Structure 1
Amino acid sequence: MKTAIIYVSSHHGNTKKVLDVMAYSNDIDLLKISEAKKTDFSVYDAIGFASGIYFHKFHKGIEKLASEIDLTGKKVFTVYTCGINYINYARGIQKTIRSQDCEFIGGFSCRGYDTYGFFEKIGGIAKNHPNEKDFRKAREFIKNNLR
């Protein structure tokens, strides 16, 4: 299944690390948000939207693209990393996705090293994330949903 994942990753690269694991040995193109604006998505069977979490939400540019790209007939999913993974931070973008004529197949999330704001003063949180356990779960998500 030909898949594209459009992403924004923080300066720590947490989200990109997870996406690299997902793309390895799979037919997945990873597209930075700037590349996505000039991409023909009609050639893809599935589209993922990935982001670190910014103020409890996906990156604004990723959310905007989710409403602009024609997702008709495609499998669509979300991926995110965050310092503390206690709520569904993808709720807003998932609502946008579900409003289109596509098949929302779920989302993957895991913790990622976070030094934003106050967390910088204490040395950050989720220092060793994403880790091998997170990567294994990321591979399982792709295997179970994009075959």
Structure 2
Amino acid sequence: MTSSRSQHRNTRRIADALGDVLEARVLTPAQATPAVLEQAALVGFGSGIYWMGFDQRLVDCIRPLPDMSGRNAFVFATSGLPEPPFRRYTHRLGLILEDRGFRLAGSFTCRGLDTWGPFKLVGGVSKGRPDAGDVAAAKNFAESMRLIAEDGT
């Protein structure tokens, strides 16, 4: 599972919860080499959302990958605000993964503390998130991904 920077450790909390259920290591994009990814039947790709998109370092890690056909992937993210219908960033990252040959098995998003720009003036938005409910939801999502990985479809 790859997870990019997380200023408030929002995404790391979710990555760790997913990794616990999946019994998987959480890697940075730099650690997610083709040799490492080729050994996995299921790979999660996630980051916090910056300017309505995934961390560019994560995207830059995916684009040069060789053909990853036969491997399932999922997307996860934390964001201060909900994903807007006019800019579906999880869908865009899913398309990039499919272009590399991955089968997109699902996506998970939840709120996370965001102190960007004007939000900082009020102490941020989505304070206290991800919370215990978000972590539990991430674990439930991971269970469904684990079943997909075990089934191979």
Mark yes or no: TM-score above 0.5. Answer: yes
What SS is found at the alignment partner of 1:79?
strand
Indicate the larger mover: 67-76 or 131-140: 67-76
**2:120 is matched with which residue?**
120
Equivalences for residues 38-53 of structure 1 within 5 A: 39-53=35-49
Residues 47-101 of structure 1: per-residue CA shift (max 9 Å, x gap): 1111000110001111122222232110011010000113232222111112233
- Determine the C-alpha separation between the residues in 1 that align with 2:106 and 2:21: 21
Asked if the contact 2:65–2:100 (Cα under 8 Å) also holds between the matched residues in 1, the reply is no
Asked if 1 retains the 8 angstrom alpha-carbon contact of 2:4 and 2:55, the reply is yes
- Aligned letter for 1:93? L
Residue 66 of structure 2 is aligned to residue 56 of structure 1? no
Residues of 1 paired with 2:21 and 2:107: CA distance?
20
Paired residue total = 143
CA shift at 1:10, angstroms?
2.0
Normalised to the residue count of structure 1, the TM-score between the two structures is 0.89
Structure 1 stretch displaced more, 45-54 or 26-35: 26-35
Instruction: Name the structure with the higher strand share.
Output: 1
Tell me the SS of whatever aligns to 1:28. coil
Whether 1:99 and 2:68 are equivalent positions in the alignment is: no
Cα distance, 1:39 vs. partner? 5.0
Which of residues 13, 17, 20 is equivalent to 2:16? 20
Paired with 1:23 and 1:114, the residues of 2 have a C-alpha distance of 23
Superposed counterparts of 1:71-110, under 5 Å? 71-87=68-84, 88-110=88-110
Give the CA deviation at 1:126: 0.4
Residue type matched to 1:145 in 2? Answer: M
- Alpha-carbon separation, structure 2, partners of 1:76 and 1:127: 29
Q: Percent identity?
A: 24
The structure with the largest helix share of the pair is 2
Amino acid at match of 1:29: R
Please list every run of 5 or more consecutive structure 2 residues that lacks an aligned counterpart in the other structure.
148-153
Which deviates more, 17-26 or 106-115? 17-26
In structure 2, how many angstroms separate the alpha carbons of the residues matched to 1:83 and 1:33? 22
Normalising by structure 2, we get a TM-score of 0.86
Instruction: Let me know the Cα RMSD of the aligned residues.
Output: 1.6
Take 1:143 and 1:104, find their aligned partners in 2: how far apart are those partners?
A: 16
SS at match of 2:115: coil
Match of 1:7 in 2: 3
